C-alpha cells in the first residue's frame, strides 16, 4: 500500500488535544477500533489517522451540545434523562407545571405527592392505604426508639416491605397505593408512632412540637417545598435503583442513604450548628464577616440553579416572618442572611430556611433532615414510578482515564 501523506496523520498528543481527552482515553478509543493507528517509520511511536480523529470529534459534538462538558454534565450540567415531574427554570420551581411556592401556601404533602405521581384518575391516600405493621415490626420499632429518626427509617423499611402484600403490584393504581402507604409509614417512623391516615404534616408536628397551628403550617410548607428538586443526587440514585426493578421501599431507602450525606440533605445539620453557634453571640454580623474573611464557607447560602436566590427559601422565610417575625431566633437568622447578601453576595437556600424554621419552633437537632427526608419521599416515589414506566435500566458509560491496555 502506498504511504499516505504525513498531513493525514496526527501524533498521540495532537490527537488527544484535538479531542480534548487524555492519552489514556485516546488509547482506549484505539483499542475499540474507533481510531486507527499505525507505527511511525523508524520509530517505536505510533501515528493516528486524522480523518478518524475528526470523524469521532464530529460524532461527539453531535451527541451533546458541548463536547467539552465532560464530567461537568453530571454536576449541574447538561440534562441526562427525560422527566415530566419537576421544572427548574427562570428562577422558579414547578411540580408538573404548578408553581411549588404557590402550592406551599395551602397544599399538603399528600396533595402534592398525588400531583408528582401523575395521579389523574386515582386518589391514592384513602383511609385504607395505611400499612398495618406486624407485632414483630412494632417491637423492632420500639427497640429502635432511641436511635436517630433517619436510622430508624433505614432499619425498618426493608422489613416493612416484606409485610406490604402488594409491593409488587406495578400497575399505576398499585404503585400509587403502595406509594401512599410508604409515605405514611415513613412519617410514622420519623414521628415514632403507629401509621395512620392523618395528614403527615400533622403527624410530624405532633412529634416535634406542641402541635400549635402556626408550627403545623410552617412544617406543612417546608414539606411541600422539599418534595422534589429535579435530578439531584438522591433522585438519581432512586431512579438507578428503580431501574433495576427493585421495589418502591428499596428505592426510597436508597434515596435516604444518599440524602443524609453532608453535601445533600445532611447539610441542614451544619446550618443548625451555625444558628446554634450564633445564638450565643452578640456580634452576629462580625462573626459572619470573619468567616467570609477567613474563606470559611457559611452553610445554607447560594445554589447553582438559582443565581438570583432560591425561591423555596424566599417563600418559607416569608411565612416565618409572617408568623414569627418578632421571634429572637428569626431576627438573628435575618441578621445573618442580610449580611451574607450584602457582603457575600449570596442569598439563603432551602437548607437555611428549614433550619430557621427549626430554630424558631425550637425543634430538636436533626429535625431539618427529618423534614427534608419526609418531604422528599414524595418526590423519590414519583421518580421511581416514572422510571418503572420507562421500562429501562440506567447504565451510563464511563470515560476511561486509566492506564492504556497492555
3-state secondary structure the chain: CCCCCHHHEECHHHHHHHHCCCHHHHHHHHHCCCCCEEECCCCCCEEEEHHHHHHHHHHHHHHCCCCCCHHHHHCCCCCCCCCCCEEEECCEEEECCEEHHHHCCCCCHHHHHHHHCCCCCCCCCCCCCCCCCCHHHHHHHHHCCCCCHHHHHHHHHHHHHHHCCCCCCCCHHHHHHHHHHHHHHHHHHHHCCCCCCCCHHHHHHHHHCCCCHHHHHHHHHHHHHHCCCCCCHHHHHHHHHHHCCCCHHHHHHHHHHHHCCCCCCCHHHHHHHHHHHHCCCCCHHHHHHHHHHCCCCCCCECCCCCCCCCHHHHHHHHHHHHHHCCCHHHHHHHHHHHHHHHHHCCCECHHHHHHHHHHHCCCCCCHHHHHHHHHHHHHHHHHHHHHHHHCCCCCCCCCCCCCCCC
Positive or negative: CA dihedral 187, 193, 197, 199: negative
Grid cell of 342 as nine digits: 450584602
Closest CA to 220 of 194, 197, 202: 202
Cα dihedral 170→172→177→179 (10° resolution): 80
Q: 3.30.310, 1.10.1660, 3.30.70, 3.40.50: which CATH number matches 6-63?
A: 1.10.1660
Residue in 52, 228, 327, 351 annotated catalytic: 351
Q: In whole angstroms, give the CA distance from residue 365 to residue 275.
A: 11
Grid cell of 182 as nine digits: 410508604
| Successive 10-residue mean pLDDT values, the chain, 406 residues | 58 85 76 81 81 83 50 68 93 97 98 96 93 97 96 97 94 96 98 97 95 93 98 96 97 97 92 93 92 89 92 98 96 95 93 97 96 98 97 90 86
Instruction: Tell me, yes or no, if 201 is annotated catalytic.
Output: no
Residue in 229, 264, 303, 383 annotated catalytic: 303
pLDDT score, position 395: 92
b/e map of 214-251 (b: 16 or more CB within 10 Å)? Answer: ebbbbbbbbbbbbbbbbbbbbbbbbbbbbbeebbbbbb
In the chain, domain spans = 6-63
pLDDT score, position 1: 37
pTM of the predicted model as reported, rounded to 2 decimal places: 0.82
Instruction: Tell me, yes or no, if 94 is annotated catalytic.
Output: no
Amino acid at each position: 500500500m502506498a504511504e499516505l501523506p504525513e498531513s493525514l496523520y496526527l501524533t498521540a498528543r495532537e490527537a488527544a488535544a484535538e479531542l480534548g481527552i487524555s492519552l489514556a482515553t485516546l488509547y482506549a478509543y484505539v483499542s475499540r477500533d474507533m481510531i486507527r493507528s499505525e507505527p511511525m517509520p523508524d520509530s517505536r511511536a505510533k501515528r493516528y489517522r486524522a480523518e478518524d480523529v475528526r470523524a469521532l470529534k464530529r460524532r461527539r459534538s453531535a451527541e451533546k451540545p458541548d463536547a467539552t462538558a465532560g464530567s461537568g454534565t453530571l454536576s449541574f450540567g447538561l440534562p441526562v434523562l427525560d422527566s415530566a415531574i419537576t421544572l427548574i427554570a427562570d428562577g422558579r420551581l414547578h411540580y408538573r407545571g404548578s408553581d411549588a411556592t404557590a402550592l406551599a401556601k395551602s397544599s399538603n404533602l399528600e396533595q402534592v405527592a398525588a400531583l408528582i405521581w401523575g395521579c389523574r384518575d386515582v386518589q391514592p391516600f384513602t383511609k385504607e392505604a395505611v400499612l398495618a405493621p406486624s407485632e414483630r415490626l412494632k417491637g423492632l420499632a420500639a427497640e429502635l426508639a432511641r436511635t436517630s429518626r433517619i436510622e430508624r427509617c433505614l432499619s425498618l423499611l426493608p422489613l416493612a416491605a416484606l409485610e406490604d402484600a402488594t409491593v409488587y403490584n406495578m400497575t399505576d393504581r398499585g404503585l400509587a397505593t403502595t406509594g401512599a402507604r410508604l409515605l405514611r409509614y415513613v412519617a410514622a417512623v420519623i414521628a415514632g408512632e403507629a401509621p395512620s391516615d392523618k395528614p403527615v404534616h400533622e403527624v410530624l408536628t405532633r412529634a416535634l412540637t406542641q402541635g400549635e397551628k402556626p408550627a403545623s403550617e410552617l412544617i406543612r410548607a417546608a414539606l411541600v417545598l422539599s418534595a422534589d428538586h429535579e435530578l439531584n443526587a438522591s433522585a438519581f440514585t432512586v431512579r438507578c435503583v428503580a431501574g433495576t426493578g427493585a421495589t418502591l421501599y428499596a428505592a426510597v431507602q436508597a434515596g435516604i442513604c444518599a440524602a443524609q450525606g453532608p453535601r445533600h440533605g445532611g447539610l441542614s445539620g451544619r446550618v443548625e450548628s451555625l444558628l446554634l453557634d450564633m445564638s450565643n453571640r452578640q456580634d452576629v454580623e462580625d462573626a459572619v464577616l470573619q468567616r467570609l474573611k477567613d474563606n470559611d464557607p457559611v452553610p445554607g447560602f447560594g445554589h447553582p440553579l438559582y443565581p438570583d436566590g432560591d425561591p423555596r427559601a424566599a417563600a418559607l422565610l416569608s411565612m416565618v416572618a409572617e408568623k414569627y417575625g418578632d421571634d429572637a431566633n428569626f431576627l438573628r437568622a435575618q441578621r445573618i442572611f442580610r449580611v451574607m447578601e450584602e457582603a457575600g453576595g449570596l442569598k439563603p437556600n432551602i437548607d437555611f430556611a428549614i433550619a430557621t424554621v427549626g430554630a424558631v419552633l425550637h425543634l430538636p437537632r436533626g429535625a431539618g433532615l427529618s423534614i427534608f427526608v419526609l418531604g422528599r419521599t414524595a418526590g423519590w416515589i414519583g421518580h421511581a414510578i416514572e422510571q418503572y414506566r420507562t421500562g429501562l435500566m440506567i447504565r451510563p458509560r464511563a470515560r476511561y482515564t486509566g492506564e492504556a491496555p497492555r
